[in-house]
């Protein structure tokens, strides 16, 4: 691994890792996200769900490395490519090029804010489309900085979040200064949550945010998959209440 990487990776990378029947995660490469003049490093993670009709649903696609693309295609036909928020969209066009028959989905406003050409055929709302209704529930959370669609895989009781919980394991973080920043932001394991700067962007949206969180709690998730840091294999509902105590 290159010396300039900020994180010890969740190896192996670009490999399907079973989480539950018909649900996998893929830990992808580290990326840099430009924010307030800084290039901040983030590990990446994709979630793959196989729907009852055999079609694959890809959430927050990571870099389409050839062996990964082949492994995903071996699970079934890729039919649904989901950009779950206004930040996690970068590799969706690359997967769409590989699987032109797949439908693309994104949150409201994504095409206006995206920093690369992006064709989104379907806008995500609180109502699941027919393609995955009954298997995946969803709720959209809108703030000043971020709009995110969150999903619940009913068969495995798995909540799939993106940036509304970040849970960085500081022992994996190499730069000392960045470790301290994660602690100060409140995004460090074992008390990971939305960073304080993100929390502040929801001040004008606290009521709909609380309603969305209460809906997620009502789903009673057993586990929570997140995009950045250690995800929660057990006690999902308790972790959800803990991580969103600032909003409840």
The predicted-structure confidence for 129-143, as pLDDT tens digits, reads as follows 999 999 999 999 999
* CATH number of the domain to which 219 belongs: 3.60.15.10
Q: Is 7 part of any domain?
A: no
Strands (E), the chain: 16-20, 23-35, 38-50, 56-59, 78-83, 103-106, 122-123, 136-142, 147-153, 158-160, 223-225
Q: Which DSSP string corresponds to 159-222?
A: EE-SSSSBBB-GGGB--HHHHHHHHHHT-BTTS-BS-HHHHHTTGGGHHHHHHHHHHHHHT--S
Strands 158-160, 147-153: parallel, antiparallel or unpaired by DSSP? antiparallel
Q: Residue 224's domain spans which residues?
A: 16-243
Q: What is the pLDDT of residue 5?
A: 82
Q: Is 112 part of any domain?
A: yes
Contact assessment for residue 83 and residue 162, using Cβ atoms and an 8 Å cutoff: no
Q: Is 4 part of any domain?
A: no
Asked if the model's pLDDT at residue 2 lies above 50, the reply is no
Q: Is 2 part of any domain?
A: no
Place of tokens 């079609």: 55
Asked if the model's pLDDT at residue 36 lies above 60, the reply is no
Asked if the model's pLDDT at residue 98 lies above 70, the reply is yes
pLDDT band at 210 (very low <50, low <70, confident <90, very high): very high
Place of tokens 């057993």: 222
Residues 145-202: pLDDT tens digits?
899 999 999 999 999 999 999 999 999 988 898 899 899 999 999 999 999 999 999 9
Dihedral angle, C-alpha 84, 89, 93, 94, nearest 10 °: -110
Q: What is the pLDDT of residue 42?
A: 81
Q: What's the number of domains the chain is made of?
A: 1
Nearest CA to 150 out of 91, 102, 212 is that of: 212
Q: What is the mean pLDDT of the chain?
A: 94
Asked if the model's pLDDT at residue 1 lies above 50, the reply is no
Q: Is 63 part of any domain?
A: yes
Asked if the model's pLDDT at residue 45 lies above 50, the reply is yes
**pTM, entire model:** 0.95
Q: Is 24 part of any domain?
A: yes
Asked if the model's pLDDT at residue 25 lies above 70, the reply is yes
Q: Is 23 part of any domain?
A: yes
**Is there a cis peptide before residue 123, judged by omega within 30 degrees of 0?**
no
Q: Is 8 part of any domain?
A: no
> Which of the 8 DSSP states describes residue 53?
T
Contact assessment for residue 148 and residue 138, using Cβ atoms and an 8 Å cutoff: no
């Amino acid at each position: 691994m290159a010396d300039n990487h900020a994180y010890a990776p969740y190896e192996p990378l670009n490999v399907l890792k079973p989480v539950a029947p018909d649900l996998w995660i893929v830990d992808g490469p580290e990326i840099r996200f430009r924010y307030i003049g800084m290039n901040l490093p983030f590990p990446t993670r994709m979630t793959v769900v196989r729907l009852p009709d055999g079609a694959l649903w890809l959430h927050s696609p990571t870099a389409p490395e050839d062996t990964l693309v082949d492994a995903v295609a071996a699970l079934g036909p890729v039919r649904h490519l989901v950009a779950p928020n206004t930040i996690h969209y970068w590799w969706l066009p690359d997967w769409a090029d590989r699987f032109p028959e797949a439908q693309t989905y994104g949150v409201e406003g994504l095409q206006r804010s995206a920093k690369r050409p992006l064709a989104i055929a379907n806008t995500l709302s609180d109502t699941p489309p027919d393609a995955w209704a009954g298997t995946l529930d969803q709720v959209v959370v809108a703030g000043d900085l971020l709009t995110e669609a969150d999903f619940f895989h009913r068969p495995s009781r798995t909540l799939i979040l993106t940036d509304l919980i970040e849970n960085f394991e500081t022992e994996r973080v190499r730069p000392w200064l960045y470790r301290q920043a994660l602690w100060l932001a409140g995004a460090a394991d074992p008390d990971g949550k939305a960073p304080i700067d993100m929390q502040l962007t929801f001040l004008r949206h606290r009521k709909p945010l609380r309603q969305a969180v209460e809906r997620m709690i009502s789903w009673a998730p057993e586990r929570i998959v997140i995009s950045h840091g250690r995800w929660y294999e057990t006690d999902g509902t308790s972790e959800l209440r803990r991580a969103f105590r600032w909003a409840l």
